[in-house]
Amino acid sequence: MKTYYVLDTSSLLRLIRDQDKLLNILQDGFIAITKEVYEEIKDRSSRLFLNAIIDRISIINPSPQFRRETMRRARDIGCHNVLSKTDLSVVALALELLSRNYDVKLLTEDFEIQNMCKFLKIPYSSVTDKVIKKILKTFKKCLVCGETYESSLSACPNCGSLKYKLIKTRADN
């Protein structure tokens, strides 16, 4: 079975500039992007090239169900504020294709998206082969008492303060 390579904007731009790599991917599988990613490709020459190969690329709109699921899971690890709407659409598309039992690989250079993939067990890689090793989770650290707590909480469970800073720490320790 051929693999669906789901690309975010950064990896699509890299592949547009490295067309040998792009052709290799098309030999090995399909390229799928969301409309949000397509619309982020703004410079004229990249657009022209993209439009020239557009019949070999699937532009898929992830369903509301998978968009909601992605948002919910992003909240779980506190990265819903860090990922853009486009980033979330890319993750939602990968999840949806996986749910239909396709082979999926999400290509991204973005460590936040990679982190999300790792958490959701979405196979991923990057065009430049730079990938993260550990899942990072975002927590809030209270500026009054120093308590570290879940980023979904609005106030410190220890002292009730609303003042915090965001910190990242490994989720598996």
Q: Of 79, 67, 59, whose CA–CA distance to 152 is shortest?
A: 79
Q: Minimum CB separation from Zn ion for residue 139, in Å?
A: 13
Smaller CB distance to Zn ion: residue 54 or 145? 145
Binding mask 100-139 for Zn ion (x = CB under 5 A): ----------------------------------------
Smaller CB distance to Zn ion: residue 23 or 159? 159
What single-letter amino acid sits at 151?
S
Q: Looking at 23, 54, 159, 166, which residue binds Zn ion (CB under 5 A)?
A: 159
Phi first, then psi: what are they for 16, rounded to 5°?
-65, -30
**Binding residue count for Zn ion, defined by CB under 5 A:** 8
Q: Of 32, 2, 3, whose CA–CA distance to 105 is shortest?
A: 3
Phi first, then psi: what are they for 85, rounded to 5°?
-60, -40
Smaller CB distance to Zn ion: residue 18 or 146? 146
* CA–CA gap between residue 10 and residue 170 (Å, rounded): 25
